[in-house]
Amino acid sequence: MFKINDNYLKLPGSYLFSTIAKKIAAYSEAHPDADIIRLGIGDVTQPIAPAIIEAVHKAADEMGTEAGFHGYAPDLGYEFLRSKIAEHDFKARGCEISADEIFVSDGAKCDCANIQEIFSLDNRIAVCDPVYPVYVDSNIMSGRGGVYDEATERFSDIIYMPCTAENNFAPDLPSETPDLIYLCFPNNPTGSVLTKDQLQQWVDYARRVGAVILYDAAYEAYISEDHIPHSIYECEGARTCAIEFHSFSKNAGFTGMRLGYTVVPKDLKTPDGVMLHTLWARRHGTKYNGAPYIIQKAGEAVYSPEGKAQLKEQVAHYMRNAHIIYDGLKSSGYTVSGGVNSPYVWMKTPDSMTSWEFFDYLLEHANVVGTPGAGFGPSGEGYFRLTAFGTYENTVKAVERFKNL
């Protein structure tokens, strides 16, 4: 008789954004006329930029010709895309990352979730609290993390690093020693950032204790301040201790197109010289058949002069929304943070409401959807996340509704 992987049964509840989607569906069914504004999941609303669409059409046409047809993509992704990534995302920032250290994939979420497979099951992970749920859930599914304690809402063998108003939502170095450290900056969900000095401290710490930092840079395009690093490889020594994840979803609107990449530097090795790059290449080769040629061509257009100019405008569009949310809520008396180098605004719930109470209250009284902070971990309780990825009109309307609550 078959047996299931009962690690899955250790996961409390359902995936956060599925729970929210179900709640919205139930509310819409009961209130079919409600004009619901969704500022919950970080999904983009702007159409794909013209330079990218042009590249998609061209690549699709090519695929219909004998000369331009492409079958399976190379394991690591097409050279034309990897070399553009290396040049624009790393070399231009003074980071020493070569094209063959870049693994193209269909998005950062899958890579963030799958990377733990190349590490031993007895490795201990450290995560920020609140945290993007994928890091924890994927480790639990694999058998790490220990048992879940309902009272503390924490797994016994995970090191949680509280990110609260007291530390500006930036984690302190942990008192217990982890093997794998997940960091995401600009942060999802709080919108906080680390300065280069702060990030350098993490790199120095990881090297000292022999840990690997799993750095999620999905939101780096939203950094507006010069002293905030876009990549962990801007820090000295990061090539020997960090893996970095990037997404085309947030900077170029690819949530429905699917494209991302992961950097595994060749200097990242075990003490006896095994390169993590080799392991990830093996995993990629066995379990993944590559992002479609057409989509990788679309990704290449992200780095063309036209693509870059159009995406700068797109990011500015979302950041205008972020400012509208931040300023509007602040002037209405809410305590808010984030939103400066991030498309997420993190607010304190009013009147000591729990995050989920506020979710229900806001949905019912303003028909606005956000994401309950508690869904990202116990330190998110009493907070609420709003995304700037909505349309301008809906963002303005949502803020007006907040003011009238």
Contact between residue 108 and residue 245 where contact means Cβ atoms under 8 Å apart? yes
Nearer to ligand MLT, 78 or 132 (CB): 132
Residue nearest to ligand MLT (CB): 42
Nearer to ligand MLT, 132 or 202 (CB): 132
Taking residue 102's Cβ as centre, other Cβ atoms within 10 Å add up to 25
Nearer to ligand MLT, 42 or 229 (CB): 42
Least distance from ligand MLT to the Cβ atom of residue 41, Å? 4
**Residue 332, Ramachandran bin (φ over 0: left; ψ between -120 and 50: alpha; else beta):** alpha
User: How many residues interact with ligand MLT (rule CB under 6 A)?
Assistant: 6
- Residues numbered 151 to 190 that lie near ligand MLT (CB under 6 A) are 188
Nearer to ligand MLT, 42 or 145 (CB): 42
Q: Which residue has the tokens 């931040």?
A: 326
- Residues numbered 310 to 349 that lie near ligand MLT (CB under 6 A) are none
Contact between residue 163 and residue 183 where contact means Cβ atoms under 8 Å apart? no
Q: 272-277: list long-range contacts, CB under 8 Å, 24+ apart.
A: 276/118, 276/212, 276/243, 277/101
The one-letter code for the residue type at 325 is I
- β-pair type (368-369, 37-38): parallel
Which helix (H) or strand (E) segment holds residue 182: the answer is: strand 180-184
Using CB under 6 A as the binding rule, whether residue 246 contacts ligand MLT is answered as no
Least distance from ligand MLT to the Cβ atom of residue 249, Å? 6
- Residues numbered 29 to 88 that lie near ligand MLT (CB under 6 A) are 41-43
Least distance from ligand MLT to the Cβ atom of residue 107, Å? 8
Q: 92, exposed or middle or buried, with CB in 10 Å at 0-12, 13-18, 19+?
A: exposed
Nearer to ligand MLT, 25 or 309 (CB): 25
Nearer to ligand MLT, 238 or 398 (CB): 398
How far apart CA 176 and CA 401 sit, in angstroms, is: 45
User: Which position among 38, 82, 84, 109 is part of the footprint of ligand MLT (CB under 6 A)?
Assistant: 109
Least distance from ligand MLT to the Cβ atom of residue 271, Å? 34
Catalog residues that contact ligand MLT under the rule CB under 6 A. 41-43, 109, 132, 188
